[in-house]
Amino acid sequence: MTRTRDRQGSALLIWGVALAAYLLAVFHRSSLAVAGLEAADRFGISAAQLATFTTLQLLVYAGLQVPVGLALDRYGPRLLLVSGAVVMTVGQVCFAFVESYPLAVAARVLVGIGDALTFTCVLRLVATWFPTRRVPLMTQLTGATGQVGSIVAALPMTWAFSHWGWTNAYLAAAGVGLVVTLLVVVVVRDAPGQWRRPGSAISVAFVRRSLSASWRHPGTRLGFWTHFTTQFSATTLALLWGYPFFVRGEGRSSHEAGLLLTVLVVALVVAGPVLAAVTTRHPFHRSDLVMGIVLAMVAVWTAVLVWPGEAPTWLLVLLVVIVGIGAPASIIGFEFGREFNPDARLGTAIGIINQGGFIASLLLVVAIGLVLDWRTPPGSDYTPEAFRWAMSAQYVLWGVGLANIFRSRRRTRQHVAAAPETGTAAT
């Protein structure tokens, strides 16, 4: 009994420190969201160029997920968590001082690299340290609690920019990174009784087998498309376009825009454990729940975009709440990946799935910037009409995602029916 309590205590401590690293990653990722207009003035750039910051950050994040998954299976999560925290800290220090657009882009790429090394490692630690029955809840708590970093990047960073200025605000953010790095070094272990638990050596044949086996199972693809379809709306609002949309598109003050983004994150945090409880109790309806949440997002966005004039406050609050629920819904995709892949290639499967939402977010961030520049006369501010056109790009991604969720679910059930040992039909 004592040894079990000690193991549980160690698991919670290690999870808490790893969660702090993920919270830091979300904070760094989101720290530009409330500084979009200041960045445009500081670097003298257009909407499309402003979107490049987030575009490259997301591109780096999505592009590194499979390599990170492979490295995770090989080197373990502790080494990758430390590396990620260090790289993000360096990126924020650079971003604090640069004054040219190309150097600023390079600094945000560093943030993207460090961010890419973090979340997958935390999920691997959860799967290693906690009993199987608790993994869905701890995974949702990880995703939900980590998003508190977005709150830290909203109201407090808005205050920091206005009182401390650009450089000091970002240096303060980097200082937090040093503290978290030290905590990871001192506390985190790969597995019980092991500071590090490396896996098989990486070779071309290993990479080919691992990627092929993971993607070949339709359950992994179901996880990918679940993540793709549910996450992008919340990510795009939180990372870049939410603040300008509420200020320029809906006529809200800076304070109101910051509060709306905070409500989005609060909805995300509250919804995560609720969704974990629902999916644990009703595993055969997880994909139905996902599709229902997506359709709710489509409905509320449609109401906002077709509303004559500025949408009322209650509708904007409903928007950020529903969109916020979409982010923890994307975590359900990792449940499919964990269920249909053995431990030896779990990191690879998680990396593949984690690409989905960020690929979709990348496409949407670029599309919004291009459409805004297309619909806004040169030298003019963004207009509500331009934002309505730009935000409508989401419908294409929702259509593609829903079609592939439906198809992957059908193929997963067929696959499991033919080979029951590869998983369950609880999709």
**Stated pTM of the model:** 0.76
Q: In tens digits, what is the pLDDT along the chain, a chain of 427 residues?
A: 555 555 677 889 999 999 999 988 888 887 776 677 777 778 877 766 777 777 787 788 888 888 888 888 888 899 999 999 999 999 999 988 888 888 988 888 899 899 999 988 998 899 888 887 788 888 888 887 777 766 666 677 777 777 788 888 889 888 888 899 999 999 999 888 767 666 666 667 777 777 887 888 888 999 999 999 999 999 899 877 898 999 999 999 988 998 998 899 889 888 988 998 898 888 888 999 999 999 999 999 999 999 999 999 999 999 999 999 998 899 999 888 888 877 777 778 888 998 899 889 989 988 998 899 888 877 777 899 999 999 999 999 999 999 999 999 998 888 777 766 555 555 6
Is residue 427 a part of any domain in this protein? no
Query: Distance between terminal CA atoms of the chain?
Result: 35
Is residue 194 a part of any domain in this protein? no
Is residue 108 a part of any domain in this protein? yes
Whether the CB-CB separation of 297 and 233 falls below 8 Å is answered with yes
What is the number of domains present in the chain?
1
* Residue linked to tokens 């004039």: 309
Provide the CATH number for the domain around residue 181.
Answer: 1.20.1250.20
* Residue linked to tokens 């997506």: 294
Angle, CA 81 vertex, CA 79 and CA 83 arms, to 5°: 70
Provide the H-helix boundaries in 31-152.
36-43, 47-75, 77-97, 101-116, 119-129, 135-146, 148-152
- Write the CA distances from 324 to 44, 161, 345, integer angstroms: 32, 25, 30
- Domain that includes residue 57, residue range: 2-189+199-422
Is residue 185 a part of any domain in this protein? yes
Is residue 74 a part of any domain in this protein? yes
Type of residue at 404: N
What is the 3-state secondary structure of 256-302? HHHHHHHHHHHHHHHHHHHHHHHHHHCHHHHHHHHHHHHHHHHHHHH
Is residue 172 a part of any domain in this protein? yes
